[in-house]
Every structure is written in structure tokens, then in C-alpha cells.
Structure 1
Amino acid sequence: MASLFLPALGRMAVCGGTHGNELSGVFLVQEMERQRKEKGDGVWPIPVTTVLSNPRAVEECRRYIDTDMNRCFSTATLSSPITDSSPYEVRHAQELNNLLGLKGSADAIDMICDLHNTTSNMGLTLIHYATSDWATMHICKYLQTKITKVPVRVLVMDVPISDAYSLESVSKHGFSIEVGPQPHGVVRADIYLIMKEAVDLTIDWIHKFNSGTVFEGGDMEAFKFIKSIDYPRDPETRHLTAAVHPQLQGLLSPQAG
């Protein structure tokens, strides 16, 4: 019987601050950089690159400066010519693609874990682009067995990778971690610790996989993006004409990362 050999995941990047006011990822990347400075590259069992993705937005504690960076990583945007009027985030997205990609190439980094917060009370969710990404699915299953404080879910966007517009799509295998609820511009210690645990466990899974550990397969529930539904608006002014129902407030929220 033939055996299936999957390639090792040799390089990983942990990115925070893609949205500059989602601070758990910002603080976690800064903490990981402090650990590397104190203990050297051997602080983790695999090579890990840390990236503060949108430093200008982090400095101003804003989601973005000119345009949402996490919408700038489609193949079309990454290959667009840069002019004097190009948004800052488009320029920097191309720089990150050169650092971590090139997207879709054999030289692209193996795994990007991009860190986000949401105001939604959604626990911990891994968001990625294809059910065929075996690495992300196994990591999510591993996190589900290890993290008990909050639900751990996976959301599949299911679009061609060339059209995928968020940072993790630059890597061969990638996902964003979305943790909430947390207001923008602040840090909740409990949310930060959940994110840190997820990143530590992801590094642990990759190390075990690279060392030859065999992980069991099986079924796993995954959610699929269908469509966005806007709030009701006044047809003339476009002002909102509704709010979240009190019985749903705290369960659902209008903005995720």
C-alpha cells in the first residue's frame, strides 16, 4: 500500500497589527520579539518570523491609515503598479509579499498565522480559504482538543487563492486567528491569553508534525461564508435605522476582523 508523505512546514510567520487597533496580536508579536531578544532564535522549536504588519496604523491605534491592509493581498493588488498616489497599505502589502512570499510561488513561507481581534463574542476562530488545506484543518482539530476555555471553530472562505485578499493567503498554508470579544484599541488579558495559547499550540503542532508525529484524521465541523447582510438603512441618507436586538447583543456583533 502506498504511503502519503507530506512536506515539513519549515518556516512560520506570526503577524500582528494588520489592523492597528486590534491589540492582542500587537502585544503578542512584541512579546515574542522580546523573548527572541532575550533568549535567541532557539526560543521556539521551529523557525518563527514575527511581523508587526501595519506599524503606522499601530502607532496611531487605527484600523488602517489609507485603506484596509487586510484587503490588499489579492494577486491583482500585489501586482499593481505603485505610484505617488498609491495607498500606504498597498505599498506595504507589496513589501510584506516580498518578505513572506511571493504569493503562489514555491518560495512562499510555509505558514502565516495572522492575529486579529473582533468585537463579536465568537470565541476563537481560524479563518482560511480552502478545505483542502490539510495543515490548517489539523491545527484547528488540535486546538479543539487543547483549548477548553472558549469554543474553537474554523471558517472557510472558499475562494480562489488568487482572489484571496488577506495576509495569510500569501503563505502556502495560512490562517488568521480571530478572538473576541474585545473592544478595539484596548487589551483584555483573558482574550490575549487565549490568543497566546493558540499560537503556542500551533507552533507545538508544527514541531510535532515535523518530528514525525502522526495525527488522527476524522470529521470536523467547518463554517462557510455565504454573504454579508448590512443593517437596514434609510434609502435617502443611508443612515442606520436599526440596532442589534437586546436578546442577541453580546452573541452577535456587526464587526469582525
Structure 2
Amino acid sequence: MPRIEFIELISTTFDAIDRENLTLGTDEIIVSQAHKLRKLLPQLAATIKENRKSDISQQLAESQKLRRADLQALKDAIKPAKVSHLVEKKDAYLLLNELLKKHNDAQSSGLEKTNGVIKSLLTKLASEEYAQAVETLRVDEYVQNLQESHQKTYQLYLSRQQEELVKSSSNKKEIRETMNKSYRLFCSHLENLVDYDEDTSYSSLYTLVEKVKKDFAEVLQRRKAQAKRKKPIQSEEEVVPPSD
């Protein structure tokens, strides 16, 4: 059974058990295997997402590009004040220009360091020491743009880190094999309890699990039938009779 359908079967089984408020009783095998299946189900589901090509890296690259452009726009926006005849504007330019020079690493460092450099820059720009200069040169909008693009870049960076963590920590084959064994043991032991040990306390649980399996098998059959019907039927090549 394909992995995604196996996940659906296990999930449907436990959803039904919860919906009917059925207990797992005290049998050690039933309880332990059910616990194992519930625990591993989210991990197996996470591996499905790994197979879908993630666009986080592409989004992150685009966001970095925008952040670099916003930083450059801020630098360009203060340049006219360099030749201003107004002392307060020239002083504001010198103050901000010196600050931006100290954060030149933002353009050439690795992503992790760049995030820290930009965060430091934005924190200082918002401080009392530099906020007045930002207001004097009327570059608030440029600072805000940089703040927004930095926040988006940082969130995408965190998302990519989490994605890579999941990829490195999950073993699809091992998880699937473990769950297969647990599910088979859960079902076979449940059947033994009811049919051979005649433990009536598990009758309702056994009936429900078997019903889920039967219903799910029927669903799969319908899906296969629908898939076959959707396949284009190749028409026979038309035979053109020879002309007289």
C-alpha cells in the first residue's frame, strides 16, 4: 500500500476509535502498539511533505534580494543630504552614513550573520540616538521597508532551518516498517483476543477496526476504478479505403 494511503488508513482507524470513545483496555500489546502507531503517525506524515518540492528556498532567495535592495535604497536615500547647506541635515547624514558603514557586512556575509547584522542595524535606527536623524532626512519609509523585508527573510530562514531539521531526523523507510509491524501486530492480536481468548471486552474495538479496514478497501477499489475510467482510451486508427 502506498505510504499516503497507509497513513490515511491508520489515521482513519484511530479517528474512529476516538469518535466512538472506545478504550484500548489493559492488554499490554494492544496498548503499546496503539501508542506507537499514534506517536509515529505524525512523523510518517511529515515525510510526505519532504517529497513535495519545497519552494521555501526560492522564496528565501527572493526575499534576500528584496532586503538587499531595501538596504541599498536606504543608503541612496540619505546621499542628497551629504551636500546639503543645512547643518542639521548634514549632521544627520554623517551620523547615519557612519552607522551604515559599520554594517557593511550585511552585504557580503553568510545568511546567518547577515540576519544578525541587519537586526542590529534596525535596532539602532529605532533608538533615540538615530531616530531623530531618520526623521530629519525623512527616510522613515526606507527604514520601514527594510524592517518588513528583513522580518520576512528571517521567518523564511527559520522555516528552512526547520524543514532541514525534519529531513535530517526522519527515516522514512524505518518509520514505515515499524508502523507496518505495529499495525499488523495490533490487528492480529486483537483478533486473537476476540476469536481465541474470547475476551468480549475487545469485541467492539475489533468490530470497529475490521469495519474500517473493509470500508477503506472499498474506497481504494473505487479510486482505482475511477482512475482507470479517467485514462484516455486510444481509438483505433481509422482505415481509409483505397480510392478507385
Q: Identify the TM-score tier after normalising by the shorter chain.
A: under 0.3
- Of the two structures, which has the highest relative contact order with CA contacts closer than 8 Å and spacing of 6 or more? 2
Structure richer in strand, relative to its length: 1
Q: TM (normalized to structure 2)?
A: 0.22
Larger radius of gyration: 2
Structure richer in helix, relative to its length: 2
